[in-house]
Amino acid sequence: MNQNQQLELSKEKVPLFKFILIGDQSVGKSCIVQRYQNEEFKHNIKATIGVEFIKKLVQVDKGLVELQIWDTAGQEQFRSVIRGFYRGSARRLHCIQCQLKRII
């Protein structure tokens, strides 16, 4: 579906699903969002300040749904602000960083 088709269809009423990515700073939340939106992975994305979100129309079965994917800042000073964005979310995805430590 090209961008013009999405704009035309966005004028119709479609169900909305809100997803919010939460987690510590520098675990890759913004990288996941950018990968989904642009279909390319970037390693060097600037830190999110507060909250950012993207919208994307997705075809499910024979209908459309609108996804809102919210990318939250992981810094401690934004935690109290971000809690207000949890309301109305279909899912919260908690992102963590896993490191493999080898025993030598």
Specify if 102 maps to a domain: no
Specify if 81 maps to a domain: yes
CATH number assigned to the domain comprising residue 35: 3.40.50.300
For residues 34 and 83, which has the higher predicted lDDT (pLDDT)? 34
What span, in angstroms and rounded, lies between the C-alpha atoms of 89 and 104? Answer: 44
pLDDT (0 to 100) of residue 31:
87
Residue (of 42, 58, 45) closest to 90 by Cα position: 58
pLDDT (0 to 100) of residue 80:
65
Structural domains counted in the chain = 1
* Whole-prediction pTM: 0.66
pLDDT (0 to 100) of residue 55:
92
pLDDT (0 to 100) of residue 90:
75
Could you give phi then psi for residue 8, rounded to 5 degrees? -65, -45
Instruction: Tell me which H or E stretch contains 57.
Output: strand 51-60
For residues 5 and 17, which has the higher predicted lDDT (pLDDT)? 17
What span, in angstroms and rounded, lies between the C-alpha atoms of 51 and 25? Answer: 13
> What does the pLDDT look like over 28-65, one tens digit per residue?
888 888 888 888 887 777 877 777 888 999 898 888 99
Domain coverage including residue 63: 3-95
Query: Would strands 63-72 and 51-60 be described as parallel, antiparallel, or unpaired?
Result: antiparallel
Where does the pLDDT of residue 7 fall: very low under 50, low under 70, confident under 90, or very high at 90 and above? low
